[in-house]
Chain A
Amino acid sequence: MQTTENDRIRIADASFPKPFKGGLEFNAPAHGTWNIVHIGFKIPKAHQIYICADNCMRGVVMTAAEMGELSRFSSVILEEDDMVFAGRLEESTIEGVTDVLNSLPELPPVVIVFPVCVHKFMGCDINFIYDELSKRFPSVKFVRGFMDPVMQKRGTTPDQRLRKAMFDIIPEGEKDGSVTVMGCDMPLAKDNDIRKLLEAQGVTVRDEASCATLQDYYDLGKCSSVICSYPAGVLGTEAFCKRTGRPMVYMPFTFSYDEIDDALSQIGAVPVFNGRVSSDRTAAGLKTLLGDTEIALDYTAVPRPLSLARFLIEKGFNLKRIYLDAIDPGEQNDFDWLVQNAPDIMLCATMHVKGRRRGKAEGDDKILAIGQKAAWFEGTEYFVNMIEGGGLYGYAGIKAFLKLMEDAFLVPKDTEDIIPRKGLGCECVL
């Protein structure tokens, strides 16, 4: 099947995994998802230094400012003369970072340095830069960040590579029987069967998303096995496991009972008693409340949006639209199931030039959105405010998720205040 030039298409007519033809790109002003600045600050005590042009800098420095973290953020501005002379880019980067570090009240233990697209395009000797910085500041651990979106259409994204670089500094500790969960930005929720079941069995669970100190972060390497819970973290987690010889299980928040049971058994967790029945009962209760209310969801809310879509259809909910621009190849089975069983669901692009907020009219029916982008496009105040699955997993996670849907249906939110805020779950001083 061909990719469509339209901004929406029936799922039965959509090509997999890329339903939409590329072109100029729109950006919906819903910003709860994390960017590289939010992600970098997950390393306690780390200082971030970006080396880029003014306009690129503005987005990252204001992200840090709105987090109240300007004291852990610095910039080196690139200008035209940095592009003209051979070696100038390396010199400006090294001297700029040096100047920044020498001016700080004390040297940070970890510094994430972010070169940009221009460094790659100019053939800048990146290794030389890091080697020289390491020589000048031997007590500092330098992390190789990147802000080079020019590469992301054909390869890995900057945030995937950043996560990998951040995991590269976790030392291989002595195995202590613990399990480390990594890759996701949302801390493990209380309604997470990974945590609940393992801890009930006396297993220590360390969470990369909620390290309070740098030592906590380094201690992630003491685990005996690793769980990756988010797609963007797979690259880094695999590299960590390969380096340290730890086994890895990939466990994104899924709504498939079979997948949950299979994954939980892989990590040695005792199966959840009555999990399926209990989840079904909760879903049925919510269905009674929602009736035929239209539902729309987006890809930022959960790591497996088509798994959620299938679950909602199976339980009789009136899911109408899914906002996404591409489909994770790991969702092929759910895609095929939806094509067969819910062919009229519309896939809606979020970056298409026609992407606009739906105008609301008097008397319009209530729409329940799952995710900020869906809320923005649908123009609804009734939405589940969640990214990356919210740290949920398993049957406990599904039931908690259904409760969030219920709350969202009953209590409207201030969409215009909430969704322009960046980095859901981070400190925000706005």
Chain B
Amino acid sequence: MKKAYKILPVYTGDVSGFASALYELGGMLVIHDPSGCNSTYNTHDEVRWYKQEALIYISGLNDIDAITGNDDKFINDIVRAANDMKPKFIALANSPLPYLNGTDFKGISKIVEDRTGLPCFYVQTNAMHDYSKGASEAFLAFAKKMLKPASEKIAGGINILGTTPLDHTNTKFSVPEGKTLVSNWAYGSSLEEVLKATSAELNLVVSSTGLAAAEYMKNEFGIPYELLGNYLDVKRGKTRRYIVGEPVISGFVAAQIKEKSGTDFNVIATTEITDGLLSECDRKCHGEDEIREALSDAEVIIGDPMFELISPESARFVRLPHFAMSGRLYRKEIPDLMRLEDYYNEP
């Protein structure tokens, strides 16, 4: 049964993905939820809390307000908090109960915007998806609401799209010589830098969470995009060696190995956004049983140590911890993904 997870943890959820994506941008992030989302996020899904605090709140929804659809309290509480905390923008996220009762977040955003004078937008979540969906929706909603056409371009300007600690906990990106980093969405860039994104000439998508915003910026502002290392250009053949995890990172690692040693690896993508991100030899899996089945004939597996729990004993397992899967458990082992030699060596 695809819904049953006997031992494997689920990935970080979409609401945490939303919070992680917008964490550093100075906005007030409000999750319309009774309790728990905030604690889960700041305990298991966020590494920055002690270094850099953010305005992330839950609404504390109770049963009566949920049943009667009492949006006034939610709106009034947001306005009061915004007056206290003076955020640069307000972003709202959904959870199962407001999703079920059809809460009109777009309407609420409009009212909040009118009453606070601050940009306010809704990020489509419902707590029933993984972080890649939530972060992707957050970057996209932010781009749609906040970006304006640039008056002039920055020659060689590049945006990096799709960096959150959930995927790139310890990865250090750099731009080629002669190029200029305009913004990094959104791990290490200020709001002011991110708002200059439309002056860039190229977007570099480094995880599936950045793809939707890249598509939007291509269509709206004419900025083309590339996937990390143009990994889809590296042809790989069918094999029983697998990289299991997020598709862009896994595809990038597979391409790096192919180029350096000629060894083929196939990607088993286990996060939600995969359209246009997989090669023919790769596949998408959903749920513990499907992943277990896909790994059952493996000779070599590269992946988060949690996947070892459902891997055949005969397979050689190469640990590549992923914060969005194992959280804090192997945080100290998480490598810089740009440094292949730190986490993969041919036997």
A residues lining the B interface (CB < 8 Å): 5, 22-27, 29, 31, 53-59, 61-62, 65-66, 70-71, 73-80, 83, 92, 95-96, 99-100, 103-104, 116-118, 120-122, 147, 149-154, 351, 353-354, 356-357, 416, 420, 422, 429-430
Say what secondary structure dominates the interface of chain A. Answer: mixed
B residues 45-67 touching A (CB-CB < 8 Å)? 45, 49-50, 53, 55-64, 66-67
CA distance A24 to B74 in the complex (A): 8
Task: Check if B214 is an interface residue, CB within 8 A of chain A.
Answer: no
CA distance A153 to B63 in the complex (A): 8
Q: Would B130 and A83 count as touching, CB distance under 8 A? A: no
Given A152-B35, A353-B84, check contact A29 B62 (CB 8 Å). Answer: no
CA distance A73 to B288 in the complex (A): 14
- Enumerate chain A residues within 8 angstroms of B84, measured Cβ to Cβ: 353-354
Q: Would A24 and B58 count as touching, CB distance under 8 A? A: yes
Task: Check if B239 is an interface residue, CB within 8 A of chain A.
Answer: no
CA distance A430 to B327 in the complex (A): 10
- Enumerate chain B residues within 8 angstroms of A429, measured Cβ to Cβ: 329
B residues lining the A interface (CB < 8 Å): 1, 3-7, 9-16, 30, 34-40, 42-45, 49-50, 53, 55-64, 66-67, 77-78, 80-81, 84-85, 95-97, 100, 125-130, 287, 306, 309, 326-329
Q: Would B62 and A150 count as touching, CB distance under 8 A? A: yes
**Across the A-B interface, the 7 shortest Cβ-Cβ residue pairs:** A55-B13, A59-B40, A149-B35, A55-B127, A27-B38, A24-B57, A150-B34
Q: Would B100 and A59 count as touching, CB distance under 8 A? A: no
Q: Would B10 and A5 count as touching, CB distance under 8 A? A: no
Q: List 11 A-B contacts (CB under 8 A).
A: A29-B49, A53-B13, A54-B10, A54-B128, A61-B5, A74-B4, A76-B5, A78-B3, A100-B4, A149-B36, A153-B63
Given A31-B43, A153-B60, check contact A65 B327 (CB 8 Å). Answer: yes
- Enumerate chain B residues within 8 angstroms of A116, measured Cβ to Cβ: 96
Partner of A24, one of B30, B44, B306: B30
- Enumerate chain A residues within 8 angstroms of B53, measured Cβ to Cβ: 356-357
- Enumerate chain B residues within 8 angstroms of A420, measured Cβ to Cβ: 43, 328
User: Which A-chain residue is minimally distant from B39 (CB atoms)?
Assistant: A27
Distance in angstroms from A140 CB to nearest chain B CB is 16
Q: Would A58 and B96 count as touching, CB distance under 8 A? A: no
- Enumerate chain A residues within 8 angstroms of B129, measured Cβ to Cβ: 54
Partner of A55, one of B16, B35, B55: B16
Q: Would B57 and A26 count as touching, CB distance under 8 A? A: yes
CA distance A53 to B37 in the complex (A): 11
Q: Would A422 and B43 count as touching, CB distance under 8 A? A: yes
Q: Would B6 and A29 count as touching, CB distance under 8 A? A: no
Partner of A58, one of B44, B49, B78: B44
Distance in angstroms from B18 CB to nearest chain A CB is 10
CA distance A138 to B7 in the complex (A): 23
CA distance A99 to B5 in the complex (A): 9
Q: Would A22 and B60 count as touching, CB distance under 8 A? A: yes
Given A117-B96, A117-B97, check contact A54 B309 (CB 8 Å). Answer: no
CA distance A151 to B45 in the complex (A): 25
Q: Would B81 and A24 count as touching, CB distance under 8 A? A: yes
Q: Would A53 and B59 count as touching, CB distance under 8 A? A: no
Q: Would B130 and A25 count as touching, CB distance under 8 A? A: no
Q: Would A117 and B13 count as touching, CB distance under 8 A? A: no
- Enumerate chain A residues within 8 angstroms of B80, measured Cβ to Cβ: 5, 23-24
Q: Would A430 and B329 count as touching, CB distance under 8 A? A: yes
Distance in angstroms from A147 CB to nearest chain B CB is 8
- Enumerate chain A residues within 8 angstroms of B61, measured Cβ to Cβ: 150
- Enumerate chain B residues within 8 angstroms of A80, measured Cβ to Cβ: 126, 128
CA distance A23 to B83 in the complex (A): 13
Q: Would A24 and B78 count as touching, CB distance under 8 A? A: yes
- Enumerate chain A residues within 8 angstroms of B5, measured Cβ to Cβ: 61, 74-77
Q: Would B77 and A23 count as touching, CB distance under 8 A? A: yes
Q: Would B329 and A121 count as touching, CB distance under 8 A? A: no
- Enumerate chain A residues within 8 angstroms of B63, measured Cβ to Cβ: 120-121, 150-151, 153-154
User: Which A-chain residue is minimally distant from B74 (CB atoms)?
Assistant: A24
Q: Would B6 and A79 count as touching, CB distance under 8 A? A: no
Distance in angstroms from A174 CB to nearest chain B CB is 39
Q: Would B81 and A23 count as touching, CB distance under 8 A? A: yes
- Enumerate chain A residues within 8 angstroms of B1, measured Cβ to Cβ: 95-96, 99
Partner of A53, one of B44, B49, B85, B128: B128
- Enumerate chain A residues within 8 angstroms of B77, measured Cβ to Cβ: 22-24
CA distance A56 to B130 in the complex (A): 11
Q: Would B3 and A54 count as touching, CB distance under 8 A? A: no
Distance in angstroms from A107 CB to nearest chain B CB is 13
CA distance A23 to B306 in the complex (A): 38
CA distance A401 to B13 in the complex (A): 40
Q: Would B127 and A77 count as touching, CB distance under 8 A? A: no
Q: Would B43 and A29 count as touching, CB distance under 8 A? A: yes
Given A74-B6, A76-B4, A78-B128, check contact A59 B43 (CB 8 Å). Answer: yes
Q: Would B34 and A149 count as touching, CB distance under 8 A? A: yes
Distance in angstroms from B326 CB to nearest chain A CB is 7
Distance in angstroms from B99 CB to nearest chain A CB is 8
Partner of B60, one of A25, A59, A65, A75: A25
Partner of B10, one of A26, A58, A149: A58
- Enumerate chain B residues within 8 angstroms of A65, measured Cβ to Cβ: 9, 306, 326-327, 329
Q: Would A58 and B329 count as touching, CB distance under 8 A? A: no
Partner of B66, one of A26, A62, A95, A121: A121
* Further 13 A-B residue pairs, CB within 8 A, beyond A26-B56, A61-B10, A120-B63: A24-B80, A25-B38, A53-B128, A55-B37, A55-B127, A58-B13, A58-B45, A65-B329, A66-B327, A118-B96, A154-B64, A353-B81, A356-B53
- Enumerate chain B residues within 8 angstroms of A100, measured Cβ to Cβ: 4, 6
CA distance A27 to B35 in the complex (A): 10
Given A24-B30, A55-B127, A65-B9, check contact A83 B4 (CB 8 Å). Answer: no
- Enumerate chain A residues within 8 angstroms of B95, measured Cβ to Cβ: 55
- Enumerate chain B residues within 8 angstroms of A151, measured Cβ to Cβ: 62-63
Distance in angstroms from A430 CB to nearest chain B CB is 6
- Enumerate chain A residues within 8 angstroms of B57, measured Cβ to Cβ: 24-26, 353
- Enumerate chain A residues within 8 angstroms of B42, measured Cβ to Cβ: 27, 29
CA distance A23 to B59 in the complex (A): 7
CA distance A96 to B62 in the complex (A): 28
Given A57-B13, A100-B6, A149-B34, check contact A121 B43 (CB 8 Å). Answer: no
Q: Would B97 and A121 count as touching, CB distance under 8 A? A: yes
- Enumerate chain B residues within 8 angstroms of A56, measured Cβ to Cβ: 13, 36-37, 40, 96, 127
Given A25-B57, A117-B96, A149-B34, check contact A59 B39 (CB 8 Å). Answer: yes
- Enumerate chain B residues within 8 angstroms of A147, measured Cβ to Cβ: 36
Given A22-B60, A62-B327, check contact A74 B34 (CB 8 Å). Answer: no
- Enumerate chain B residues within 8 angstroms of A5, measured Cβ to Cβ: 80
CA distance A353 to B129 in the complex (A): 27
User: Which B-chain residue is minimally distant from A35 (CB atoms)?
Assistant: B39
- Enumerate chain A residues within 8 angstroms of B306, measured Cβ to Cβ: 65
User: Which B-chain residue is minimally distant from A151 (CB atoms)?
Assistant: B63
- Enumerate chain A residues within 8 angstroms of B64, measured Cβ to Cβ: 154
